[in-house]
Each structure stands twice: as C-alpha cells, then as structure tokens.
Structure 1
Amino acid sequence: MPSLDFKNPRRETGDPPYLLHKLKRGALLLGFLIATGFAIQLTRAVDESIATVIEPSQSTTSDHPVNAPVLPLLPELEIIEGEIGRGEAFSEALKGAGISHDEVFGLVKSLRKGVHRADFNPNIVQRGDRFTARIDSVGAIQTFEYIKRGSLESRILAEQTNGRLKAWKETVPLDRRVVVVSERIDDSIWNALRATGKNPDVLSHRLMDIFEYEIDFMVDCRPGDRFSIAFEEFHKDDQFVRYGKILAAEYSSGKDRHQAFIYESPDGDRAYHDEEGKSLRGIFLKSPLNYKRISSGFTSRRFHPVLKKYLKHHGIDYAANHGTPVWATADGTVSFAGRKGPLGNYIEVKHKNGYKTGYGHLSSFKRSVRKGAYVKQKQIIGFVGATGRATGPHLHYNFYTLAKGKYRLTNPSRVLNRPTGKPVPKEFLEDFNTRRDALYALFEHASGSIVTAFLKDADLQLAE
C-alpha cells in the first residue's frame, strides 16, 4: 500500500504522477455523462407532463384564453379591533393594538384633513370608543372605522385610495318618529316630564327655550298646571338615539293658555308661533340665566342679610352656582361695565324703547364686554359671583324703564313683553293654519303615543 507524504498530502509516494492525473480525468468524464443523461430524461418528462396538462384544456370551452397569464391572489387583510382605554390617547391605543407608528401618524394626518374638528378630534377621545382597522401584509392601513361610545348616528371612516388614506364622516340613516306626551304638574315641570318616561333634562330645557319670553318655569309653575308636547324621536334598529325638535307644545295654567307651533314658510323662515301665527319672540327674556331659585324678589321691604335691617329691594336675586353664565335679556349697548359699590362687578345694558337692564355681583365679565359694545339677546356677558355686598354667589338683576327723562327701577314681571319676531306673512297664513290644526290634533292621542302616521309628509317636513 503506498504511503502518504504528510508534508504534501496531494502526493502519494511510490506511484508515478501520471496515474493520479488519469484518475481525475476519468472521474470528471463519468460525472459529465451521468449529469447529461439525467438532464435529457428530465426534459422529456417535463415536456410530456406539459403536453398532458395542455391537451385537455384545448378540448374544453373557456371564457379565458389558454395563454392568459395567471393573476396573483390578493393578500388577505388582517383585522385589528380595539377600544380606547381609561386615560388612553388615540395614537397610544392604535399602536398598542399593533398598528405601526408611521401608519398611525398618516392616519391622524388624513383624519385632520378630511374630517371637521367638531366631528372628530384625535386629541379628544373617550374611554369606550371603538375602532376597526384592516391592514395588509406590510402593515399598511387599508380601511379604518371609528365609532364614538354610544353613537349610533355617525361613524368616522378612512380608506386607502391611490396610495393615500382618505377620511370622512358617514351619517347613519335613522328612523324618525313623532311622539306626544301630556301630563299634570304637581311640583315641577321636570318631575312631570320624568313621569312620562322621557328624559326630563332634554325636554324641559327645550320647552323652556320655546316659552322663554312668556313663562319662567322656575316661578310660574303651579300645581294643577298641564302641558302637552309633540316632538321627534330618532331610532336606529328600534334603539333610541336622540330627541329631535319639538313640533308643537301647549301649557295651561288656570285661565292662561300658551301654545307654540313650529312653522317653516315656503321662503325658508322657520320659527315658533302662537295659534294666530304671531311670533313667540319677545323684547326681553324672562330670566338672564339658568338659576336654582329666586332668593329675593322685587319688594319694597326686605330684611337685608348683611346690614340686618329692612330696606327696599327693587331687583331680583337669582341664586346660582359660582361661574354660571349670565346673558343679556335683550339686544342693546353696554352703558357701564365695572365696579359699582355694593353691586360689585356690574354691567348695565341700554335697550331700545326706553329700557335698561343691570347685572350685579358678577365674578367676571366676558372679554368682549366693555362700555359701548353691542350685545345680542342671550349673548353671554358675564358669570355669577359674590363680589360687592353679597353673602353667597347669586345674580342681582335690575330692570329700568324711562319715565319723564329718568330711569326708574321696575318689576320686570309687570312689563308688557311685546313680540318682536316676524309673524307668519299673510300670504302663508292659510298654509300655517292647516299645519297648525294637524299638529294640534295630535294632543288628542294618549300620552306616549307614536303619532307619525297621523301626519302627512308635508307636516313631517316642518322640522327637517
């Protein structure tokens, strides 16, 4: 057996060099022949298999050409669902659900561009808001849906279009119903509305807004008074969503009866009118704020809580929380805004027809309110406080009438509140009377009845 040379492993001692060379050439030739034969057989097998596949397809009918390229399948989208957690930010919730930082940034950018800030603000989200995103294999958002907690009326959508996310708000169609309720008042309008099974917070404020020139529900309500209201409700799949407008209302107190009917004339003017078509809008509002109670009325003899003696109190004190907004009871020009002795921070507004109103003990003024500024009716001018001579937060309201060139303090409840709004034009009175009668007839139905079917399509369009 030949021995190996460990210093040169490629060389074997005892054999001539040409023998090793022949062995290498032989091995290479044998490998080439084997590989060539295998390739030939493989080619034949492939050709036969192709022929086997093609031949049947040529004998069958198809809507697609035989040589048409096969399109790749679209990648499946991954669905990511999530919910805003307690104290969680919008971007934080999305990234926590597995959406990348860049995709969240692009989504926020498209939402700010396509959706009005009042409809959706990514910086202001609530716990319980839900979102659904569909992302592709590379993590890009293809569609996005955002639903605010408790909202059945709208949703925020985004979709990939031409390489960019486009966002918009979609309004969900709702079922509109007209409902009528009637009730007797035992202690307050709020409790009476609650007895009907409806939301007293919403409906009481809307009823107060309609009659705010005629009735102060905090002091004018009496046990035995009655009311009837016909209003809209909106539902989604038989689930209540929200209240709509009040279409008609009636309030009876003793011999007094107040009625309101919403009417939109053919020229587009919409407002509430009484049964004769006169506007319910008066010169002055019945109160200058939403208050808890009247702590002191207009009187010539009141025991002063600070001075401890009887004095005239020719104004009205409205008890309310500190910071409660105070509004002007009529259009006018600010004649005074500043500190005024015992009244503390005080605003005086001069109105047309010889009237003037004053607002005392304010904590602060609205920035735009200064002497000479014009203010509109129900425009906020200041906030309830306890400045000046006051034992607690309340508004002192003064009402002046001009007599013989001088302004005199007057009890506002005794001032004739003449209507200032536009009445129904004479050419539309017949149309108004027809719709008024249709709405008033609804009050004949039992409280809680759905009365949509008793109104014609034209009547239903009153509050659209």
Structure 2
Amino acid sequence: MKPYTFARPRPNGRPPLSRGPGLVILVLGLTALCASRVDLAGSEWHTAARTQPPDPTPVLEAPEPETVLTAPAEPKIIELTGIIGRGEVFSEALKRQGIEHEAVFELVSSLRKGIHRAEFNPNIVQRGDRFSLGVDTAGVIQSFEFVKRGALATRFVANRLEGRLEARKEEADLDRQVVVVSAGIEGTIWNAIRGAGENPDLLSSRLIEIFEYDIDFMVDCRPADAFSVAIEKFYKDGEFVRYGDVLAAEYRAARESYHAYLFETPAGDRGYHDAEGRSLRGFFLKSPLNYRRISSGYSNRRFHPVLKKYLAHHGIDYAADYGTPVWATADGVIVSSGRKGPLGLYVEVQHKNGYKTGYGHLSRISRTARKGVRVRQKQIVGYVGATGRATGPHLHYNFYSKVGGKYRLSNPSRVVNRPTGKTIPPALLDQFFAHRNHLDALLDQESGSIVTALLDPFPTPGLDYPTE
C-alpha cells in the first residue's frame, strides 16, 4: 500500500506578528468576548459578526488549516487481450501489447516460480493461445491469464498480491455449450448484447475484434442493424465461467451484411473468413484505439477550440480516457517518435504501398516505439494524453497517402481496406463451404438456443467435412 500523502497549506508570505505585550492583551480580550457569547447559536454568532462594522484593531491571523489525510486513489486498470501469432514467442506477444521489458521479465519470473515448467513453459507457446492482462497506467501488470488453445478448462493466472505477482494453475471440469445470441442494435452494440442477456463487456470485445477491419462499432452502428453469433460458453456446476470461441458471427447493416466463420486447416492455420473463404484480416484496422467518441472528424473547415478560428482539420480526433492504449493500425516501421510541435508527443509509422499513419497528443510513448523499429498491426505505440495544443485527453490520428511522390493527408474512413490474410486453399474450399452452411443453420436459430447438439456430429474445423 502506498503511504498516505499530506496536503500542506502554502505559506502566505505575510510577516509574523509581533509577540509583545500588546498581543497578549489582545488574545485575552478576544477570549473574554468569546466567553460572553457562548450562549448564542452558531448561526446567530455568524450573523452578528457579519453585521458589525469592521474593527480597526489589528486581528490575529487565522490558524493554519488542519492537515488533511487523503487516501491514494485506486489505480485505473486497463484490460488487454491477445492471441499468440504464427512463429511468435511469449515475450514478443506481450511487447506487442505495449508491455515493457521490466514488466515482461517480472511476469515470466513469477510464472516460472509458481507453475511447474512441465505444465506451462513461457518459452513454448503455440499460435492461437490466448492471454489477457490487467495493466495500470504506469505499465505495471496487476493480473494475467493464459489459456492454451484446445485446453480451455485449464488457466494459468497471476495476480499482484502485496506488491508481488503470484502465479498459479487453475483447473476446472467445465461443461461446454454452444449458444446462439441475436439482437437488434439499441444505441450501441454494448446495449444490444446486454439486452440479449449476455455479458456486454466480454462479448462486445469479441465482436469488435472479429470485425475490426470492416466495422467501427462506435460510428457504424445504426438502429436498424442486427447481429447473430454462435459462441461457446463454459459452465462449472451450472454457473457460467467464461466464453470460448465465437464459431460464427453475422452483422446485418442496412446496405451490407458481414459474415465471419472460424475455420482451421489441417496445417494449423486458424482464423475468421467471409462467406467466400477470404480472410477477414485487412491491411488497416478501422480505428487505432478503444475510444468513447469522435470529438472532431476529418474536415476542411473546423473551429479550432484553442486558436478560436476556422482551420482545416485533416485528421480524426478520438476522445478517450487518459492513458488508453494506442496501437498501430497496420504493420510498418516507425519513422518518427518524440515531440512534434502542436501535436505534442507523436509517433509516425510508415507502411507498405505508400501509406503512413500518425498518432498525436500522447501522454507517453511506448519504450518499444523507437525510430527505426518495426511494429506489427495492433502493437501499442503510446497512450492517450493531452500533450501539445490540446484541451483534453484525446488521440489525433493522421493518415497519409503517397500521391505524386509526396505524402498527403487523407481521410482514413475512405481508404479501401484490402484483405491481407490467407485465403482458404482451393483444395479445402468444399470443406469450408460445408462448414459455413452448417454454421449458417445455427445462426438461424432463435436467440438463446443451445445448439451444442447440432454441432456434435459435425467435425472440428480442419478435419474431414461432409460435402453434401
């Protein structure tokens, strides 16, 4: 626990009063006056004091206010989730989330101390393993959870107790159900999920992650939209424990519908694909952070809140809490990292195909985001702040396109997002289409339907699929 801090009054700079005999007489006189008025109510005393003419006699200075004892504020915890990528080691996956070297070392040390190496070795992780972190605004890990792919009943966790991370293994004999969740949009995707009786904090993050290349759920949702998901849910003695994989998802907008089907090839390539077998992974993410609202959009004429005049605003301002993680929207190389005039602390990333992105007004820059360093998509490069010319915490996001050999600011919402993930090999398309059709049948079930039995005779993705 951090020590309490004491709020001390500022010295007023006045010279000390003389301590001669006159002061003693004055104190005695005031004491007698207070004693003669002790029978009056407090309100009457203050009223009388206000109505009397000012006393020309010098008065004593007011005593210094009592020392105030203030408890330290609870640190804000930022929740981060990640999946081990192809060929990625544990430390790289953590650093991609913005975790710095010292925190990674502390976590790995606690895991090695608290969990037998034969059960969990941080040096041996596989693509598709999932982890989550609770990190405070100082970058200190407060909690950690790791679940191996295909072994959801076992969790490896670490929690900070009395200043130290304590790691342990947790096992549970869990019952699996596959449930269909469907709802119409009611303001936000969060409200819609809550209205369907599910946990909006957990399930909304899954949907946002699946469709993060095509849909910005903060601005693209409309009241007429709807969604359906088929998701695994795990129970212990009838009590819900956690969600598993989203097996399929559909988002129906007014002009277009988006589909996602989880599929794994025999070679171990696992990911979400559209109805034609194309990977959902795009070149750019739709947004560089989890934000509350867009405070200023891309515009040729915006009233500047600081300069008090109309200027072009060729970027997007995302209002978010101070310290919210900011990530690179695509793979690239950092070409600038540091202060940049009115943009304050700023990071700029150069991408392939003539694109650059910039991230301004950061409160701090990740230690891994140095000039010349290669970053991966969704790797944290900094944290929301209000450095530079800013009236409050937000991220200023710039997007550059190369035109005629020069980089020019562009509207990121109008960029065509090309798919970059792996398409299903032609030899496996028949299996994928059979898998897709089966999952579509599940999504047609009523919301709340338990469809586990419908999946039981159906093979696991990546194995032999019926084609009829």
TM-score, length of structure 1 as denominator length: 0.65
> Partner of 1:358 in structure 2?
358
Cα pair distance change 1:446/1:155, threshold 3 Å: closer
> Partner of 1:174 in structure 2?
174
> Partner of 1:205 in structure 2?
205
SS in 2 for 1:449: coil
Question: Matched residues in 1 for 2:274 and 2:245: separation?
Answer: 17
Amino acid in structure 1 at the alignment position of 2:450: I
The answer as to 2:422 corresponding to 1:450 is: no
* Mapping of residues 318-329 of structure 1, within 5 Å: 318-329=318-329
Question: CA deviation digits over 1:158-184, x for unaligned, max 9?
Answer: xxxxxxxxx994633311111001111
Question: Matched residues in 2 for 1:355 and 1:403: separation?
Answer: 10
Question: Matched residues in 1 for 2:287 and 2:197: separation?
Answer: 28
> Partner of 2:37 in structure 1?
none
Question: Matched residues in 1 for 2:408 and 2:260: separation?
Answer: 33
C-alpha contact (below 8 Å) 1:262/1:462 kept by paired residues: no
> Partner of 2:230 in structure 1?
230
Cα pair distance change 1:389/1:170, threshold 3 Å: closer
Question: Matched residues in 1 for 2:409 and 2:168: separation?
Answer: 56
C-alpha contact (below 8 Å) 1:153/1:241 kept by paired residues: no
Provide runs of 4+ in structure 1 moved above 3 Å: 109-119, 152-156, 167-170, 456-463
Query: What 5-or-longer segments of structure 1 have no aligned partner?
Result: 1-108, 127-151, 157-166
Question: Matched residues in 2 for 1:125 and 1:249: separation?
Answer: 32
User: What is the Cα-based RMSD across aligned positions, in Å?
Assistant: 2.7
The answer as to 2:216 corresponding to 1:220 is: no
Query: What 5-or-longer segments of structure 2 have no aligned partner?
Result: 1-111, 123-130, 132-140, 144-151, 157-166, 464-468
Query: How far is the alpha carbon of 1:291 from its aligned partner?
Result: 0.6
Query: How far is the alpha carbon of 1:456 from its aligned partner?
Result: 3.8
Cα pair distance change 1:360/1:451, threshold 3 Å: same
The answer as to 2:187 corresponding to 1:187 is: yes
The answer as to 2:311 corresponding to 1:314 is: no
SS in 2 for 1:277: coil
Amino acid in structure 1 at the alignment position of 2:210: I
Would you say how many aligned residue pairs link Structure 1 and Structure 2?
317
Question: CA deviation digits over 1:310-356, x for unaligned, max 9?
Answer: 11001000001111111000000111111111101111100000000
Question: Matched residues in 2 for 1:427 and 1:116: separation?
Answer: 36
C-alpha contact (below 8 Å) 2:265/2:461 kept by paired residues: no
Question: Matched residues in 2 for 1:380 and 1:425: separation?
Answer: 32
Amino acid in structure 1 at the alignment position of 2:233: E
> Partner of 1:273 in structure 2?
273
Question: CA deviation digits over 1:259-311, x for unaligned, max 9?
Answer: 00000012211000000000100000000011111000001111100011111
SS in 1 for 2:430: helix
SS in 1 for 2:213: coil
C-alpha contact (below 8 Å) 2:232/2:245 kept by paired residues: yes
Query: How far is the alpha carbon of 1:237 from its aligned partner?
Result: 2.4
Amino acid in structure 2 at the alignment position of 1:292: R
Q: Which has the higher helix share?
A: 1
Amino acid in structure 2 at the alignment position of 1:409: L
C-alpha contact (below 8 Å) 1:283/1:419 kept by paired residues: yes
Moved more, 235-244 or 451-460: 451-460
Cα pair distance change 1:462/1:323, threshold 3 Å: farther
C-alpha contact (below 8 Å) 1:337/1:369 kept by paired residues: yes
> Partner of 1:349 in structure 2?
349
Question: Matched residues in 2 for 1:396 and 1:302: separation?
Answer: 14
C-alpha contact (below 8 Å) 2:115/2:168 kept by paired residues: no
SS in 2 for 1:192: helix
C-alpha contact (below 8 Å) 1:285/1:329 kept by paired residues: yes
Question: Matched residues in 2 for 1:405 and 1:174: separation?
Answer: 58
The answer as to 2:441 corresponding to 1:436 is: no
Question: Matched residues in 2 for 1:267 and 1:288: separation?
Answer: 31
Q: Which structure is richer in relative contact order (CA contacts within 8 A, separation 6 or more)?
A: 2
TM-score, length of structure 2 as denominator length: 0.64
Question: Matched residues in 2 for 1:459 and 1:298: separation?
Answer: 48
Query: How far is the alpha carbon of 1:444 from its aligned partner?
Result: 1.7
Question: Matched residues in 1 for 2:113 and 2:370: separation?
Answer: 42
